Structure 1
Amino acid sequence: MKNYEKKSFFTTLYLFFIPLLILSGTVLYMYHEDKIKDIEENILYQMKDYTFDFKGKKFSLDIIEDDKQKKLFKIYHCKEGLCAYFQTISTAPYLLKVIYDKSKYEKLYNQFLIKIFNFSIIILLLLFLLSIGFAIYSLRPMREALFLLENFLKDIIHDLNTPATSILLNSKLLRKRGDFEEIERIELSAKSIASLYKNLEYMSPNTINKDENVSIEEIINEKVEVLQKIYPKINFTKKLNSLILKSNKNGINRIIDNLITNACKYNKKNGQVHIVINKNQLIIKDTGIGIKNTKKVFQRYYKENTSGLGIGMSIVKQLCEVLNINIYIESTLGKGTQITLVFPEDIN
C-alpha cells in the first residue's frame, strides 16, 4: 500500500471507527446503568419476600428506630452492603432493616462486569473489522482514479518519447549543415522531454540490476554541462573526488539528474549550486526558495509549486531505497536546500 493510500485508509478508519466506538460506549454505559437497577430491584423484591418468613441465609436482619427519613421499600447502599427498610408488624417506632451482604453484592456485580466486558470486546472487534472493511471499500474509487491517472501519464510520456527522439536525431543532422545556437536549444529541450520519459520508467523500481561500475563524478560533470546551458544564470561550484560505485548507472543517473535539476529549477536568479563529493557522500546545496515540508516532499504527486508533476522526488526516494542509498534533506525557506546522499560503504 502506497503512502497516500495508507493516509487515506487510516483517516477513513479513524473517522468511521471512533464515532462507532463512542456510540457503542454510550449504549453499553446506558445498558450497564439499566442492568444495575434491574439487579437491585430484583434484590429488593427478594428482601420483601424475606420479611414474610425470615427463612434462608441470603439476607441478614436488624431492627432500627424509625427516624422518619428512611423511605420504605427502597434500596440503599450502606456500609454493610445493600439495605432496605420495611415496616414492622407492631405499632412501635421501629423498622426492619434487611441487609444484603457487601461481599455477595460485589461478587454478583463482578460477574455482571465480566459478562459486559466480554460482550464489549466482541462488539469492539466487530466494529473494528467493519471499519476496516469500510476503509478498504472507500479506497476503491481513489485507486481506480489513480490507476487511470498513472496510465494516462504513461501513455502521454510514451507518446512524447517518439517526437523527442525524432527531434534529437534531426537536430544532429542539422548540425552537419551548420552549427547554430537555436539547434542547441532544440536539443536541450528535447533532452528535457526525454528526461521526463526516463523518470516515468522508474516510477516503480522494485528490481533493477546493481552490477555496473558507476562513476559519480562523471555523471555530475555530464549533468552540470547540460544544465549550465539551460540555466546560464546559475553559478555551479564543484569539489569532486573520485567515487565509483557498484550499482545501477541509469538509477544513479535518475537520482542525480532530478536533484541537480531541482536545485536549478527552484533556485533564485543568479543563484548558486554547490556540489561536493566527500568519501561516500554526495552533497548538493543550493541558494533557492527552500522546501516548506521536507517530510512530504517524497510523496508522489506532492507539489509546493504549480510546475512539475510531483513525481521526481518520489522516484528519487524509491531508487534510493532500492539501491541502498540514504538520503537526507535540510531546507530553510528563502535560503536554500541541502541534500546529502550517503552511498553504501562497499564502493570500488
Structure 2
Amino acid sequence: MWGKINYNLSRKTIIGKKLTNNEKDISHMIQEFESIEKMMSVIYSEKNEGRVIFCILLLLIGKLDLGYVESYYFHYDEESKTLQYKEGYFNLDKIEEEELDEIYDSLSDIIEVDQAPFLKEILEIGEPVYDIKKFTELTPYTFLSRLNNFSVIPVGYADKNYGVLIMAGNKKLLKMGKRKRELVDIFKYNLSMYLYNRDLEKKELKDDRLKTIGYFANSIVHEFKTPVSVIKGFATLAKNKLDDPEKLKIYLENIINESDRIIEMSDEVGEYAQTRNSLSIEEEFYFQDVVKEIYKKFKNKFERLEIKPIFMEEKKILVKANKKTFSRTVCHILKNVAENVDYKKDNRYILFRFEEQDGRDVVVFEDNGCGIPEDNLSKVFSPFYTTKINGTGLGMTIVKEYYEKIGMEIKLESVCGKYTKLTVIL
C-alpha cells in the first residue's frame, strides 16, 4: 500500500492515506504522464506546487521501481538557511508500524544547514549524491540520523536553491545504475525549472494590475516562454531520436500540442487588446438568447462532465453591444465553469438566472464546482492569473473589462468547495 504523509504538529499524529479515485486532481495529473518526456508540458502548467512535488515523489517511489520505500521534499529557506519538510510519500507495506512515531518526530525537525555540513555541501555543489549507506557525521537531527541507504537530490536553478529530494530505502544497500540516475536527473531538472518559473510568477503577481506597457509586455513574454521552452525541449529530444519512430511521434505530438497552445494564447492576447482599444458596431439582442446559443457549443462537454443546466428566466433582458464580442465573453464564462468542475459531487449544475432586482436587470451564472479560495478571488480578473493546466489567464479579464466598457457591473462570490456565483448587473 502506497501512502501520503499527512501530519498535524499540534496533535502529533501521522496518517498513511491511500490514494483513491476521489482525489481527481492528483490522479488526473498521473494519467497525463503517458511518458516521462510528457511530464514537462504537464507539470510546467500546474499552479499548485504541493501537487506537483507530491506527484513527482509518487512517480519516483511508487511508479519507477527505483528500489526506495520513502521519499521526502524539504524546502530550503535562503534567509534562515534551513530545510523544512513539505511533502512525503512512502510504501506503507515496507515500513513497520512502530516506525511511524519516529518518522513523525523526525519530520518536525527544522534542519539548520550549517549544522549538517553534508547537506550544505550538496546544496552548494548542486549535484545528487546516491547510494549513501548512512550519515557518517554527527548530527542533532533525528531525520538524518535514522536514514539508511538513501540518496539526496538538490533542487535548484540559476544559483538559487529550492530544496532537496531525499529518497530512502530499507536496510539493503541499493545500487543506482546509470539508467536510474538519468531518470532521476530528468525529474530533478524539471522540478527545478518548474519552481523557478513559479518564482517568477509569484513576483509578478505582487502587482494586481498591469500598470505599464512594459510590464504588460514582460508578462506576455513570460507566458509564451513556457510553451516555447517545452517545444525546444522536445525538438532537442526528437533530434536525438530520428532512428526511433515511436519516440519521435510522441515528441512531435507534444510539439504540435504546445504550438496549438501558443496560437490560443495569441488569439486571447489579440482579443484582450481589441476589447480594450477598439470601437465596435453595436446592435440590440437578448442576453439569454446569446447564453443559449453559446451553451449549445458546450452542451456535449457539459453532458460528459455531468453538469446539468438550469435556466430561470423571469425577464427578457435586452443588451446593446457588439454581439460577436459579447458572445466570446459568455464563452469564457462557460469555459471557466467546465474547467472548475468538482468530480466529487454527484449533482453538478450550472444555473442561469435572468431577473430584475431593485429596478435593474440582473444575470446570474452559478455553479457548484470547486469554488475559488478567498485569497484568490481578487486575482480572478487580473491579466494572466490562472490556476488551469492550459489556461492563459485572460478570459475573465476580457469578460470584466468588456462588460464595464458597455456600462455593466460584474460581481464575483465563491466559497471554496461549494459554489461560485458571477453576477452581471445592467
TM range, smaller chain: 0.3 to 0.5
If each structure's helix is expressed as a fraction of its own residues, which one has the higher value?
1
Q: TM-score, normalised by structure 2?
A: 0.35
Question: Rg larger in 1 or in 2?
Answer: 1
